[in-house]
Chain A
Amino acid sequence: MLDVKELCKSFSKKQVLNKITFRVASGDVFGFIGRNGAGKSTTIKCILNFVFPDSGEILFKGRSTRGPRFRESIGYLPEIAQLPRNLTASEFLRYAASFYRKAGKPAEEDINSLLKDVGLEDVKKKLIKNFSKGMKQRLGIAQAVVHNPELLILDEPFTGLDPIGKYGLKQILLNLNRQGKTIFFSSHNLPEVQDICTVICIIHNGRVVYQGKTEDFITQFDAKDLEEAFIKSYRQSGGHDV
């Protein structure tokens, strides 16, 4: 579904991405893992054309991601982005839906049903500036799926959430995957990744060091869980602990 080939990007002569290549297949819950500064967000920004790669190719179903058709097919949740503070939850979802509707207003029941799915139905008329981090994250997911996209791209969706918030978000993501959506997300919250990802891709210092099934990676490093396997892989690739 999504092919990233030989992607390179540098900022001020510092190479951030070095020939990144991976493939996200339809129906996957794909975990994109790496330390802070490994290049996860830059890769996502390249996919979405917020940052322009120096070289390489990004294809969605065999076509370039530069056209508007790509953005019809994806939903995106940025990392630690601030939602419009002075809009209410339902206004923001109507705003997000308005980019895709062909004619007329988006159905109120669709918006309500989406707010119900993410547990925000009771606060739909509340201004976003009064929301907690977890509520904002759930609203962020709702705006990403408002137009029923095939692929969801989420940048660090678990960051800053408490255990209940993480559990709730995991359930939402698994539910969306069951509905047929492909989910691509970056994270360094490895227990969550292990719980929900079928496939992972690990990058260290702008290079892909592993892509494949989560359990195969754990077995390969003879580890008890993904976190231990990740640390072993990191040390093996020459990384330092601090």
Chain B
Amino acid sequence: MFNVIKYSLLENLRNKFYLASIGIILFIVWLSHYSSQINYNYGNYTMAILTFGMYFTKLVAFAFIIFLPVTNLSQEIETGTIYFILSKKIERYKYLVAKYIAFLLLYLTLLVLSSIALWLLTYVLVKERPEISFKLVYFVYAELLSGAMVLSLVFFIYTAIRAPIVTATVSAVTFFFSLMLESAKDIADRADTIFVKYFYLFLYYIFPNFRYFNLEKNIVYDKPIDPGYLLAMLAYSAAFSMILLLGSSLIFKHREL
């Protein structure tokens, strides 16, 4: 399984989409230097740079974690590259899990690169409130966990329907819908009828809640982060990802290629 991780990484590190994502993220970080002029944190360089940099890094990384796996997996299956691999001595589920880990590691490299660039910009250049930029490690942690969930969702949908564009669309819609889950909870709490109440509660519990993984305000405004909360995030992400990955492994095992 490690060989699939290693060579998937090697192959995708040369992928134009990956290289373009790095370029875009570094450009955004550079651009964030100017954001203090327009940001509501006017005059506070560190806060402005981190707010702008983290927000747009999230957007690019989110696009990356959906589109690279979808295009890579669909290409491997549709062009028959997968036959070379699965005719070797490897179980299908191991191939899938190895691919999952490889994409997650690539995603991690983007987050780490972005954080290092933001740290350099705030700590080395601005030298204003350096303790905040050290907290970027929490940003990487939270984004990695939410990325793991999005990736497992992409794998699950793709193995189930094998349509790349639908997979990307459904994954993106699920992600954006899940950011509004608190509203679903509010509606459920205030609902008059039992049907409406349980319908919204069902939505609230069945969709992944990506709001749990938003630590940007804590980082920018240097608010304390509870270690118990960090552990709860890990448990939530791990449980969600493992269930979906198990589901996609089972589907993939019984799927004709």
* Chain B associates with chain A: yes
Interface flag for B63 (CB, 8 Å):
no
The 8 A CB mask of B215-247 against A (1 = contact, 0 = none) is: 000000000000000000000000000000000
A residues in contact (CB < 8 Å) with B: 45, 48, 50-52, 68, 71-72, 74-76, 78-87, 91, 95-96, 98-100, 127, 140, 143
Contact B7 A99 (CB under 8 A): no
Q: What's the Cα separation between A51 and B197 when bound, in Å?
A: 46
Q: How many residues of B contact A (CB 8 A)?
A: 21
Contact A80 B80 (CB under 8 A): yes
Stretch at the interface among B48-56, B86-94, B151-159: B86-94
Q: Which residues of A contact B257 (CB under 8 A)?
A: 45, 50-51
Q: Which residues of B contact A85 (CB under 8 A)?
A: 11
Contact A79 B80 (CB under 8 A): yes
Query: In the complex, which of the residues A78, A95, A100, A140 contacts B89, with contact meaning CB atoms closer than 8 Å?
Result: A100
Contact A99 B83 (CB under 8 A): no
Q: Which residues of A contact B192 (CB under 8 A)?
A: none
Q: What's the Cα separation between A76 and B80 when bound, in Å?
A: 12
Number of A-B residue pairs having CB atoms within 8 Å of each other in the complex:
70
Q: Which residues of B contact A68 (CB under 8 A)?
A: 89, 91
Q: Which residues of B contact A80 (CB under 8 A)?
A: 80
Contact A83 B81 (CB under 8 A): yes
User: Which residues of chain B from 7 to 45 have a CB within 8 Å of any chain A CB?
Assistant: 7, 10-12, 14-15
Query: In the complex, which of the residues B14, B15, B80, B91 contacts A81, with contact meaning CB atoms closer than 8 Å?
Result: B80
Query: In the complex, which of the residues B3, B11, B90, B256 contacts A51, with contact meaning CB atoms closer than 8 Å?
Result: B256
Q: What's the Cα separation between A223 and B54 when bound, in Å?
A: 75
Q: What 9 pairs across the A-B complex have the smallest Cβ distances?
A: A81-B80, A98-B3, A76-B87, A99-B88, A82-B79, A78-B83, A86-B14, A50-B257, A95-B7
Q: Which residues of B contact A98 (CB under 8 A)?
A: 3, 7
Q: What's the Cα separation between A90 and B256 when bound, in Å?
A: 30
Query: In the complex, which of the residues A50, A79, A81 contacts B81, with contact meaning CB atoms closer than 8 Å?
Result: A81
Q: A32 to nearest B CB, angstroms? A: 17
Q: What's the Cα separation between A13 and B206 when bound, in Å?
A: 37
Q: What's the Cα separation between A72 and B11 when bound, in Å?
A: 25
